[in-house]
């Protein structure tokens, strides 16, 4: 996951300067006004990134000595100055790429780089949010839709990290992980149903006044132009018209590979957890972070040398999703590249195969953004979220490969079990993506019905229309359409991985030349080039689902 609503961090000493590797693509501008403005813009990014990761690390300056308020003031002053300089530049006199850089920076100033207000004690209190609210009434407030979204997400965040099972308070991911390891079906049912307050935080009792349904209806009412999820997918080179049939082809392929009988949802998680049951015991909490670093080192990406920071301990008030962001961006200064500082935020109480897979995914984001080599205007996530999510899974997908398991865990499961583990999460994401697509198309539909139909027809999960069990992904509330990025991203990365094996060779059991080969081809661009172009040049043609369907069908 990338780009949560709030991001935070910690202060660093002198930034590391590394030698420039390969040919930097600097495109230094010949427009003097633009060059000066862009340099200030990079300074502004530095301050902002730093504030974001400081806050995300739990240092708000309210109960500690972090001078966040002073940084925020500096940020806002600098922002005004950058805005004034950018406003003075006449784009008519710029070369094409400079003109694009100018418009990217102007857009960022009113988006990601909007003015900040210092955190207040109220905003950062770790007390439970007030979740006894009427969704419809919140729409009457100024910025009603944003307020409702923020409230629903806060309530979801609280609920998903305070799931009560008997005498224990657990978080959602721990519950789902435990389902995969619990042999007793009655206990599995109890654990699954313990998630009910999480579902309720999003969808109440599934009446039309539920937060999710009110959000959906209002978003639909205010929506102009194509759905945001389809814009993102198009930017990766997947045609919106092909998307739905391709996603359905993935689900069909999945259905053909499994038994036809219906299974309870709590038992589905158990069945999909077979690989994890066999192998998780080999990954302690301590081994989790070590193994993550070792695997990337074997591919030529040393997480320490790349300046990647990990904030993965449990903490009250921490954002409920795992994500990666910039603590600083790679920047060409004084004749050399200053290293970036990717930050990873997640919460791990235990080790296990599933947490390892997530950590490898987040580290996949981090090694990607550590390799960006472009001018400040373009030093950002690419213009396609599916592409970004796909790249994060480049290495993470290996955990289900028997040869990888043998190499790193000293034991392995059969290919069929490995593939089931690889694709169970993906087909679930595909189901969520189709769910959102259908709900966005028809916000008056009953979400429980839409979900149970999809999961019955394709995943062969017994319908429970009385349960809103789809309502346990924060993205559904916080970033509508985001699930599509995972679904389209799965298709993309299967194609990219197959192409890498074809052009460069196998990397499953390690390849120290992998990072050095991939980075200049796929990682370095940021927003310098459209993702679609980067992808199609790498693949030698347009994206198709051929690679993922072939991989799903391996025997």
Which one of 1, 31, 109, 397 is in contact with Zn ion (CB under 5 A)? 1
Nearer to Zn ion, 270 or 381 (CB): 381
Nearer to Zn ion, 40 or 371 (CB): 371
Nearer to Zn ion, 4 or 216 (CB): 4
Q: How far apart are CA 409 and CA 421, in angstroms?
A: 16
Q: Considering only the stretches 1-9, 126-134, 157-165, 463-471, report the one whose residues sit in contact with Zn ion under the rule CB under 5 A.
A: 1-9
Of 149-178, which residues contact Zn ion (CB under 5 A)? none
Contact indicator for 346, 358 with CB cutoff of 8 Å:
yes
Of 431-460, which residues contact Zn ion (CB under 5 A)? none
Count other Cβ atoms within 10 Å, centred on residue 286: 9
Nearer to Zn ion, 40 or 492 (CB): 492
**Short-list 423, 462, 425, 454, CA closest to 437:** 454
Nearer to Zn ion, 1 or 369 (CB): 1
Contact indicator for 193, 127 with CB cutoff of 8 Å:
no
Nearer to Zn ion, 425 or 463 (CB): 425
Q: How far apart are CA 475 and CA 232, in angstroms?
A: 15
Q: Could you tell me the smallest distance in angstroms from the CB atom of residue 479 to Zn ion?
A: 11
Q: How far apart are CA 136 and CA 317, in angstroms?
A: 27
Q: Could you tell me the smallest distance in angstroms from the CB atom of residue 392 to Zn ion?
A: 4
Q: How many CA atoms lie within 13 A of 23 on its CB side?
A: 3
Q: How far apart are CA 346 and CA 351, in angstroms?
A: 13
Nearer to Zn ion, 86 or 492 (CB): 492
Q: Could you tell me the smallest distance in angstroms from the CB atom of residue 304 to Zn ion?
A: 21
- Over the window 390 to 429, marking each residue x when it contacts Zn ion by CB under 5 A and - when it does not, the resulting string is --x-------------------------------------
Q: Could you tell me the smallest distance in angstroms from the CB atom of residue 436 to Zn ion?
A: 17
The β-bridge partners of 338 are 17, 331
Nearer to Zn ion, 1 or 371 (CB): 1
Q: Could you tell me the smallest distance in angstroms from the CB atom of residue 344 to Zn ion?
A: 10
Q: Could you tell me the smallest distance in angstroms from the CB atom of residue 324 to Zn ion?
A: 7
Contact indicator for 389, 364 with CB cutoff of 8 Å:
no
Strands of the sheet with 309-311, listed across from one edge: 309-311, 341-345, 323-328
Residue whose CB is nearest to Zn ion in the complex, by number: 1
Q: How far apart are CA 200 and CA 210, in angstroms?
A: 9
Give me 544's structure tokens.
């198709």
How many amino acids of this chain bind Zn ion (CB under 5 A)?
3
Residue 429, H or E segment: helix 415-441
- Over the window 355 to 394, marking each residue x when it contacts Zn ion by CB under 5 A and - when it does not, the resulting string is ----------------------------------x--x--
Q: Could you tell me the smallest distance in angstroms from the CB atom of residue 397 to Zn ion?
A: 13
Read out DSSP for 340-401?
-EEEEE---SS-SHHHHHHHHHHHHHHHHHHT--S-GGG-SS-S-HHHHHHHHHHHHGGGG-
Q: Could you tell me the smallest distance in angstroms from the CB atom of residue 37 to Zn ion?
A: 32
What does the binding site for Zn ion look like in residue numbers (CB under 5 A)?
A: 1, 389, 392
């Amino acid at each position: 996951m990338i780009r949560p609503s709030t991001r935070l961090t910690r202060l660093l000493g002198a930034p590391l300067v590394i030698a420039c590797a390969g040919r930097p693509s600097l495109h230094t501008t010949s427009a003097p006004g633009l060059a000066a403005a862009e340099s200030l813009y990079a300074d502004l990014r530095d301050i902002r990134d730093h504030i974001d990761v400081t806050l995300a690390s739990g240092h708000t300056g309210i109960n500690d000595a972090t001078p966040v308020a002073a940084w925020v003031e500096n940020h806002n002053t600098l922002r005004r100055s950058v805005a004034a300089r950018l406003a003075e530049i006449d784009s008519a006199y710029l070369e094409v790429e400079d003109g694009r850089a100018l418009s990217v920076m102007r857009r960022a100033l009113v988006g990601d780089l909007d003015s900040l207000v210092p955190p207040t004690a109220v905003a950062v209190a770790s007390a439970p949010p007030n979740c006894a609210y009427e969704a419809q009434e919140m729409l009457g407030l100024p910025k009603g839709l944003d307020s409702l979204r923020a409230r629903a997400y806060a309530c979801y965040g609280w609920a998903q990290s305070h799931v009560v099972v008997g005498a224990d308070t657990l978080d959602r991911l721990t519950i789902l992980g435990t389902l995969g390891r619990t042999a007793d079906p009655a206990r599995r049912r109890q654990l699954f149903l313990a998630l009910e307050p999480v579902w309720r935080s999003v969808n109440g009792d599934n009446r039309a006044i539920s937060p999710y349904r009110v959000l959906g209806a209002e978003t639909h009412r205010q929506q102009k132009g194509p759905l945001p999820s389809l814009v993102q997918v198009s930017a990766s080179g997947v045609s919106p018209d092909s998307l739905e049939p391709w996603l359905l082809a993935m689900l069909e392929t999945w259905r053909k590979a499994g038994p036809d009988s219906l299974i309870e949802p709590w038992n589905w998680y158990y069945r999909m957890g077979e690989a994890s049951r066999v192998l998780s015991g080999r990954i302690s909490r301590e081994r989790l972070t070590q193994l993550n670093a070792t695997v990337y080192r074997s591919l030529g990406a040393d997480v320490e040398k790349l300046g990647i920071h990990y904030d993965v301990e449990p903490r009250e008030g921490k954002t409920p999703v795992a994500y990666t962001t910039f603590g600083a961006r790679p920047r060409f200064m004084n004749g050399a590249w200053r290293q970036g500082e990717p930050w990873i935020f997640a919460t791990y109480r235990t080790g296990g195969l599933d947490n390892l897979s997530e950590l490898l995914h987040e580290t996949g984001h981090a090694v990607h953004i550590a390799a960006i080599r472009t001018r400040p205007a373009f030093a950002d996530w690419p213009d396609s979220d599916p592409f970004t999510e796909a790249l994060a899974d480049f290495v993470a997908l290996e955990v289900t490969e028997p040869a990888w398991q043998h190499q790193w865990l000293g034991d392995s499961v059969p290919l069929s079990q490995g593939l089931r583990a690889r694709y169970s999460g993906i087909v679930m994401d595909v189901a969520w993506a189709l769910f959102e697509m259908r709900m966005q198309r028809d916000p008056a539909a009953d979400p429980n019905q839409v979900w149970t139909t999809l999961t019955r027809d394709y995943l062969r999960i017994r319908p429970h229309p009385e349960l809103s069990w789809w309502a346990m992904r924060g993205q559904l509330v916080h970033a509508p359409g985001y699930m599509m990025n995972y679904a389209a991203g799965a298709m993309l990365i299967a194609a990219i991985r197959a192409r890498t094996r074809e052009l460069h060779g196998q990397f499953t059991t390690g390849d120290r030349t992998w990072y050095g080969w991939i980075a200049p081809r796929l990682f370095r661009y940021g927003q310098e080039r459209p993702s679609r172009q980067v992808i199609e040049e790498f693949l030698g043609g347009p994206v198709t689902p051929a690679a993922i369907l072939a991989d799903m069908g391996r025997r």
